[in-house]
Amino acid sequence: MILPSVWLIAAANVFEVIHVIGSYQVYAMPVFDMIETLLVKKMNFKPTFMLRFITRITYMLVTFTMMFAICVPFFGGLLGFFGGFAFAPTTYFIPCACWLIIHKPKIGSLSWIINRVCNQTK
């Protein structure tokens, strides 16, 4: 059995960290919006660029510090857990849906019934 080289494992870990940091922004934007709205409407701050900048930097520093402290011992397990949510649709659902769109099986045929039952669609 050939084990992967050290540089390959290191590169994979670096790419995973880059991926997680990039996807963090997708989930953080609604929180940024909520905090900024609260500051402007309830606390009468002016909606300026500086308010947005300070709010986001503060939130990101606190969140990154907390998540890093929590996730370091469980990094591999967490990536597997969240990766399962990301890859399950691309592995099971999307290929069947694409096959239905491309081949357009006759309604009521065996392949149509199997795909509809497996995908639980109408």
- How many Å from the N-terminal Cα to the C-terminal Cα in the chain? 47
Cβ 115 vs Cβ 105: under 8 Å = yes
pLDDT-based confidence at residue 120 (cuts at 50, 70, 90): low
pLDDT confidence of residue 42: 92
Average pLDDT rounded to a whole number, residues 8-32:
78
**Extents of the domains making up the chain:** 6-119
At 65, is the secondary structure helix, strand, or coil? helix
pLDDT, position 3 = 62
Residue-wise pLDDT for 69-103, tens only, equals 776 766 677 777 777 777 777 777 777 777 778 88
**pLDDT number for residue 2:** 66
